[in-house]
Amino acid sequence: MGAALSLLDIGLTSHLQRQIWQGSPINDPDSNIISSGFRTLDLALPGAGWMPGTVTELLIEESGVGEIRLLAHMLRELTVGKDRSVIFIAPPWKPNLAAFRAMKIAVDKLVWVKAPEDQVLWAAEQSLKQEGIGAVLIWLPQVRPEALRRLQVAAQEARSLAFLFRPLKAARQSSAAPLRMVCKPILPASAPTMNRREWMQAVMLEIDIIKRRGPLLGKPLQLSLPLQMPALPEHIRRAHQARKAREVKHVVDSGDIAAFIARSSQAALDALGIGEFDLAWSDIDVE
């Protein structure tokens, strides 16, 4: 019999070459892969980071367990390092510009799309087709298997990242997403005696990778996701350590509230003065 013909010896187009995978089942080098910012998580992810052209399902108990802080390094790298846009489709909360700035994410590269549930996946597919898109974040409680397959094809063709947030019960359902992760908060033992700020500083995130290319994860990972605080005025941050020395049984001191409102109002006026809200966030409701 003749020698086997290597696929790499024939003239494949770049599009077809992207469909071929060779080598290690876990850590293939790829210059487009973006680190998660957590070494232990990178070691568990195929390619040692978030891989473009892949839908990642994040299965969470409820919104706010730390899923955005988990993706903060990726969001910063895309919007600042690579000058690419990130689209948020149907998030269950109003995006907080101050929080994104605190994480050093370029807010002018973030786009918030409000869409009814029956149009979320269509909006996601259309977003992935646009030039300059680095990632699309999608919140959708229910999705049909065939729709999820279309989303994976769209992400693969666009070579962009796609993150799909779904409830924990979806873990029992089949999925075309190549990467699926169950994310649960780990409460500190002293949680009942903590105020909310202390609680969010101490809470950790348990990540169980239930589907990935290669063998399953031996045991869940535990990541620390400290809360960013630069949204508060500087003198408030300097006083934070002093306040920790005394027992605080409320969420925010009244002085913090006044200072925060004053700073937020001025920031809003400054933003309007430079036309910032005329960009990606022009559809934000004014309360």
Give the residue from 223, 211, 185 showing the smallest Cα distance to 40.
223
Question: What confidence category does residue 229 fall into, taking pLDDT thresholds of 50, 70 and 90?
Answer: low
pLDDT of res. 256: 41
- Which domains are delineated in the chain? 28-227 (3.40.50.300), 232-287 (no CATH)
3-class DSSP assignment, residue 148: helix
Find out whether 201 and 185 touch, Cβ atoms under 8 Å. Answer: no
User: Residue 284 pLDDT > 60, yes or no?
Assistant: no
Q: Quick one: residue 252, left, alpha or beta (phi over 0 = left, psi -120 to 50 = alpha)?
A: beta
**Which residues make beta-bridge pairs with 139?**
165
Question: What confidence category does residue 21 fall into, taking pLDDT thresholds of 50, 70 and 90?
Answer: very low
Residues in the chain, overall count: 287
Q: What is the mean pLDDT of the chain?
A: 74
For strand 204-211 and strand 179-186, is the pairing parallel, antiparallel, or unpaired? antiparallel
User: Residue 127 pLDDT > 50, yes or no?
Assistant: yes
More confident residue, 175 or 273: 175
Instruction: Report the range of poorest mean pLDDT among 48-52, 189-193, 283-287.
Output: 283-287
Give the residue from 211, 225, 238 showing the smallest Cα distance to 46.
211
Torsion of CA 40, 42, 48, 49, to 10 degrees: 180
Mean pLDDT of 192-199: 71
Output the 3-class SS for 50-95. Answer: ECCCEEEEEEECCCCCCHHHHHHHHHHHHHHHCCCEEEEECCCCCC
User: Residue 10 pLDDT > 60, yes or no?
Assistant: no
Give 15-21's long-range contacts (Cβ < 8 A, gap of 24+): 18/53, 18/156, 18/159, 19/156
pLDDT of res. 217: 80
The pTM (predicted TM-score) of the whole model is 0.70
Find out whether 45 and 74 touch, Cβ atoms under 8 Å. Answer: no
pLDDT of res. 210: 93
pLDDT per residue as tens digits for the range 37-78: 999 999 999 989 999 999 999 999 888 888 999 999 999 999
For residues 89 and 113, give the distance between their C-alpha atoms in angstroms, rounded to a whole number: 5
Question: What confidence category does residue 240 fall into, taking pLDDT thresholds of 50, 70 and 90?
Answer: low
Question: What confidence category does residue 264 fall into, taking pLDDT thresholds of 50, 70 and 90?
Answer: very low
